[in-house]
């Protein structure tokens, strides 16, 4: 039972990190677009 909990926790953390990195990259691209103008 506790193993399933850890697997879910791991997937959740990985998903959050992926979203955070993706949003950060998108943010940097958006900044580049703004600076170019």
Residue 37, pLDDT score = 66
Q: What is the pTM of this model?
A: 0.56
Read off the pLDDT of residues 1-37 as tens digits, 9 standing for 90 and up.
899 999 999 999 999 989 988 888 888 888 787 787 6
Residue 17, pLDDT score = 87
Residue 22, pLDDT score = 87
Residue 26, pLDDT score = 84
Q: What is the spatial distance between Cα 36 and Cα 29, in angstroms, rounded to a whole number?
A: 11
Rounded to the nearest 5 percent, the helix, strand and coil shares of the chain are 95, 0, 5
Boundaries of every domain in the chain: 1-36
């Amino acid at each position: 039972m506790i193993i399933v909990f850890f697997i879910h926790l791991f997937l959740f953390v990985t998903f959050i990190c992926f979203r955070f990195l993706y949003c950060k990259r998108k943010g940097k691209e958006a900044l580049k677009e703004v600076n170019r103008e």
